[in-house]
Amino acid sequence: MTKVKPPVSKNETIELTFEDLTHEGSGVGKVNGYPLFVPYALPGETAKVKVIKVKKNFGFGKLIEIQEKNEDRIEPPCDVFYQCGGCQIQHMSYNMQLQMKQKQVRDNLRKIAHLDNVPVRNVIGMEDPWRYRNKVQIPVGAKDGEIVTGFYQKKSHRIIDMDTCPITDEQNDRMVEAVRRLAEDVGIEPYDEETHKGTLRHIMVRNGKETNDLMVVLVTRTEKLPYKEKIVADLRKAFPNVKSILQNVNTKKTNVILGNKNITLWGEDHIYDMIGDIKFKISAKSFYQVNPVQTKKLYDKALEYANLTGSETVIDAYCGIGTISLFLAQKAKKVYGVEVVPEAITDAKVNAQLNKIDNAEFFVGQAEKVMDWWKAQGLRPDVIVVDPPRKGCDETLLRAMIEMKPKRIVYVSCNPSTLARDINILKEGSYEMKEVQPVDMFPQTTHVEAVAQLVLKEESADSM
């Protein structure tokens, strides 16, 4: 059999016209049908491209010079956009970003779930798609004898030194800069990943968008942290709204950011924030959405798809700290939340008490096992809501959901490909996809969240 040679060679410079985008935001151009993926290229553009990697069925290129520009190309406002790995699509107009994300959801549903006609609504975007992140975790390192802070370069652990990040809340930016200056002034050594020496590893900052509460966490390799009193005094003076100054000790040689030990240097060990009418207590390790403005829109849509009248029993699988559960509890008769992380369930119970919500119960365990137990106890939910991690739902959980036969399933997804995969299984269980609403939780990046509404077909409901 004759081996077909790709029509391009490594290090060759070619002219290429782009016709599409990958889900990672790279431009797609073809040479005699052979696709080349090129970061930062946009559809409709013609450019000089250097071929950097050639595989059997596709290759990768580097943008050298754009000869014809797409009118949706903009100048990224971030000085280090092309080096930093935090954002991928600042070079696109916001309208183009939203169109790309809608297409990403639609393509996955068509290719993986074989659903061509399910309505995929226009993406719910932000009025101002900048400065939205309420949390940052910034690595600390050294360069030429000075402390540097910033995100990692793409596909590396080299820190790109930066003073500001345009998708991060300005207060958080200023707090990181203040801690960096303090560490320089008092001589706290930055952590060195290779030698596992030095003290300051990461600076984590969280803020409450609605409450204006501020938390800062200094992640250190050692429990010993010099000049604690000065650090606390200076940060309190510079940030009168700071409520929590913590030290987190992580002694391990690991990429995991937080260690197991928290020390409260000053104030509380938590802050508060609001999403809609619900108040949340947030600790250093709490999972809490980083874009609460869009989270409210996401949860409102989940609530709409749940279609609650006040008489329903609802199960919230992967309930976390109870964010969606407590939204649902405002309109449901009873909500049962389940989550495998014990600390999250502790937070969920606290948040229920904080909001005087007594029709939500929370359980620790694997959702599929707990649901099997609930089923054996005779629990019959009207609605099941799932909000799984990027890897999607465990198949045993999907089967357990099908066996419980709720009238509606609301699937909140942060990964369109695993959403489509899981819907394939739910389709087998007589669930019909009604519509999908994508929500842009992370502007300037390729990530997109979506809420899907599935309903049990009438013939299956009749057989219950």
List the structure tokens of 164.
């500001």
* List 84, 87, 393, 414, catalytic entry: 414
Of 139, 101, 145, 138, the C-alpha closest to 122 is 101
In a domain, 78, yes or no: no
Contacts (Cβ under 8 Å, ≥6 apart) of 234: 178, 182
* Structural domain count of the chain: 3
**Residue 1 reports pLDDT greater than 80:** no
The secondary structure element, H or E, covering residue 461 is helix 458-462
In a domain, 92, yes or no: no
414 is catalytic: yes
| Contact criterion met (CB below 8 Å) for 306 and 408 | yes
Q: What is the CATH number of the domain that holds 42?
A: 2.40.50.140
**Residue 3 reports pLDDT greater than 90:** no
In a domain, 2, yes or no: no
**Residue 356 reports pLDDT greater than 80:** yes
Q: Residue 147: which domain range?
A: 135-275
Distance (Å, whole) CA 396 – CA 369: 9
Of 271, 269, 280, the C-alpha closest to 247 is 269
Q: Are residues 119 and 140 in the same domain?
A: no
Average pLDDT score over residue span 211-222: 98
Mean pLDDT of the chain: 95
| Contact criterion met (CB below 8 Å) for 85 and 151 | yes
In 72-208, alpha helices (H): 94-111, 170-186
Tell me what pLDDT residue 464 has: 46
Q: What is the CATH number of the domain that holds 237?
A: 2.40.50.1070
Looking at 68, 92, 112, the residue that finishes a domain is 68
Q: Are residues 347 and 400 in the same domain?
A: yes
Tell me what pLDDT residue 461 has: 52
Q: What is the CATH number of the domain that holds 373?
A: 3.40.50.150
Distance (Å, whole) CA 36 – CA 48: 12
Average pLDDT score over residue span 19-38: 96
**Residue 463 reports pLDDT greater than 80:** no
In a domain, 81, yes or no: no
Give residue for tokens 């549903």. Answer: 109
What confidence category does residue 37 fall into, taking pLDDT thresholds of 50, 70 and 90?
A: very high
Residue-wise pLDDT tens digits, 431-443: 999 999 999 999 9
Residue-wise pLDDT tens digits, 133-143: 999 999 999 98
Query: For the chain, what percent of residues have pLDDT higher than 90?
Result: 91
In a domain, 88, yes or no: no
Considering 159-168, 199-208, 277-286, the range whose residues carry the highest mean pLDDT is: 199-208
Residue-wise pLDDT tens digits, 279-324: 999 999 988 999 999 999 999 999 999 999 999 999 999 999 999 9
Distance (Å, whole) CA 206 – CA 189: 23
Is the dihedral angle over the CA atoms 69, 166, 390, 82 positive or is it negative? positive
Average pLDDT score over residue span 448-464: 79
| Contact criterion met (CB below 8 Å) for 14 and 34 | no
In 212-319, alpha helices (H): 228-238, 292-306
Q: Are residues 336 and 451 in the same domain?
A: yes
In a domain, 76, yes or no: no
**Residue 202 reports pLDDT greater than 70:** yes
Q: Are residues 226 and 353 in the same domain?
A: no
Distance (Å, whole) CA 420 – CA 415: 9
| Contact criterion met (CB below 8 Å) for 136 and 168 | yes
Q: Are residues 199 and 310 in the same domain?
A: no
Residue-wise pLDDT tens digits, 59-86: 999 999 999 999 999 999 999 999 988 8
**Residue 2 reports pLDDT greater than 70:** no
Residue-wise pLDDT tens digits, 399-449: 999 999 999 999 999 999 999 999 999 999 999 999 999 999 999 999 999
Tell me what pLDDT residue 438 has: 98
